[in-house]
Amino acid sequence: MSTSRQFAAEPAGHPTGVAAPGQARAVQRGFWSSLNPRITDWHGLRVWVIGASSGIGEATAAALHAHGAQVLVSARNATSLDAFVKRQSGGEGAQAWPLDVTDAAAVKATAQAILAQGPLDLVLYCAGHYNEMRATEIDMADLKKHLAINYTGVLHVIDAVLPAMTARGAGHLSLISSVAGFRGLPKSLAYGPTKAALTNLAENLYLDLGPLGLGVSVIHPGFVQTPLTAQNDFTMPALITPEQAAKAMIAGWAQGDFDIHFPKRFTRVMKLLRLLPYRAYFPAVRRATGL
């Protein structure tokens, strides 16, 4: 099992300084360096995908397995995870670890069992929950469910995996946020704030963990055709497949990006909207959505 393969593929000029296991030390990055160690060769790397029973997580786990990674997949639906494992070369290089991210003890126990088998080179948090909600129709239980799955679950995961990753001074943590976290949007009362929090969390993690040699990235997808978006009753602009999302994420990790966003034709517009003053932003969103 390689502990340094992902860093060995670094181009000349990329910051070095990744420490041997158990000897984390500060890494300096120049202005033009990639923000993270690039991951270009997945052979032999161990990847834990949380939220892999469907959609983007499942497609990314399958793509990483096809690129040679050993994939460990988690979600609540054990049947789907088992079926996924069987589809990957009859189970070779894939394992199912069912769990509920809202159960801190289960997350910790699973992480410990996985780490007892070997180090993790990538932990990808894809678990997500989404329902439309407006301030005029608040559903407190569902608000809390968004928070528990989309945000608190990540805290359970980082609490469980970071001690081993920082001790080793290697590995990459990637969190799937959303362009819905950039700014307030209609019907996004429950979902949007959890994604804004996730992006901010990733920025904080980067500042603390980057100097220790770890990679941290935040994923900002636009619309992807998955069970999560199946409820949307409007035409989703620039809609892509989970396979296209997985490809964009793998390209982003290979580039060493911190902010991996796609499809660019949509996310660039969302990034421009983020720059508008409120007096221009609010009317623009109302005009675009009719809400």
Select 23 or 79, whichever has its Cβ closest to ligand NAP.
79
Least distance to ligand NAP, CB of residue 281, Å: 20
Asked if residue 75 binds ligand NAP (CB under 6 A), the reply is yes
Q: How far is the CB of 229 from ligand NAP (least distance, A)?
A: 4
For residues 149 and 102, the answer to whether their CB atoms sit within 8 Å is yes
Show the site string, 87-126: x = touches ligand NAP by CB under 6 A, - = not. Answer: -------------xxx-----------------------x
- Helix (H) or strand (E) run with residue 272 in it: helix 264-275
| 237 counts as binding ligand NAP under rule CB under 6 A | no
Rounded to 5 degrees, what angle do the CA atoms 279, 204, 256 make?
100
Nearest approach, Cβ of 252 to ligand NAP (angstroms)? 14
Does position 229 interact with ligand NAP (CB under 6 A)? The reply is yes
Nearer to ligand NAP, 168 or 183 (CB): 183
Catalytic residue among 130, 191, 206, 278: 191
Interface pick for ligand NAP out of 40, 54, 95, 244 (rule CB under 6 A)? 54
Binding mask 10-49 for ligand NAP (x = CB under 6 A): ----------------------------------------
Residues 171-210 that bind ligand NAP (CB under 6 A): 176, 178
Residues in contact with ligand NAP, counted by CB under 6 A, come to a total of: 29
**Least distance between ligand NAP and beta carbon 35 (Å):** 21
What is the DSSP code string of the chain?
A: --SSHHHHTPPTTS---PPPTT--------TTS-SS------TT-EEEEES-SSHHHHHHHHHHHHTT-EEEEE-S-HHHHHHHHHHTGGGTTEEE----TT-HHHHHHHHHHHHHH---SEEEE-------B-TTS--HHHHHHHIIIIIIHHHHHHHHHHHHHHHHT--EEEEE--GGGTS--TTBTTHHHHHHHHHHHHHHHHHHHGGGT-EEEEEEE--B-STTTTT--SPPTT-B-HHHHHHHHHHHHHHT-SEEEE-HHHHHHHHHHHHS-HHHHHHHHHHHH--
Q: Applying CB under 6 A, which of residues 10, 34, 47, 57 lies at the interface with ligand NAP?
A: 57
The span from the CA of 31 to the CA of 183, in Å, is 28
User: Taking CB under 6 A as the rule, does residue 51 contact ligand NAP?
Assistant: yes
Shortest Å distance, C-beta 279 to ligand NAP? 27
Active site residue 191: yes
Does the footprint of ligand NAP cover residue 76 (CB under 6 A)?
yes
**Binding region for ligand NAP (CB under 6 A):** 51-57, 75-77, 80, 100-102, 126-130, 149, 176, 178, 221, 223-224, 226-229
Point out the residues that are catalytic: 191
